[in-house]
Chains A and B, each alone.
Chain A
Amino acid sequence: MESLEPSPKPPSAAAARDRRSLYLMIAMVVAAGVAVYALKGIDIVVASLQADFELLLYMIPRMAAAVILGGFVQAMVPKGMIARWLGEGAGFRGYALATIAGTCTPGGPMLSFPIVVGLRAAGAGYPALIAYVTAWATLGIHRIVTWEIPLFGEKFALARFAASLVFPTLVGFATQAILARCKQAL
Chain B
Amino acid sequence: MDSSIVVLGGLAAIAVAVAAYQGDGRIAQGFKASGGLVSMMAIRLPLGLILAGFLGTLVPNDAVAGWMGDEAGWKGILIASAIGGFTPSGPFVSFPVALALHKAGAGLPQVIAFVTAWSVFAFNRVVTWEWPLLGMRFVVVRLLISLPIPPLTGWLSGLLLGS
Contact = CB atoms under 8 A, between A and B. Distances in A.
Chain A interface helix/strand/loop/mixed: helix
B69 interface: no
Contact of B47 (A29, A114, A164): A29
B116 A160 contact: yes
B37 A163 contact: no
Contacts of A171: 142, 145-146, 149
A113 B130 contact: yes
A48 B54 contact: yes
Contacts of B91: 143, 146-147
A75 B43 CA distance: 23
Contacts, number: 237
B40 to A, nearest CB: 6
A51 interface: yes
Interface residues of A, number: 82
Pick from A44, A68, A108, A137 the residue with the most CB of B within 10 Å. Answer: A68
Given A61-B5, A76-B19, A156-B108, 13 more contacts: A6-B40, A32-B55, A55-B49, A55-B53, A56-B46, A65-B12, A118-B33, A138-B120, A146-B91, A148-B95, A152-B98, A171-B142, A171-B146
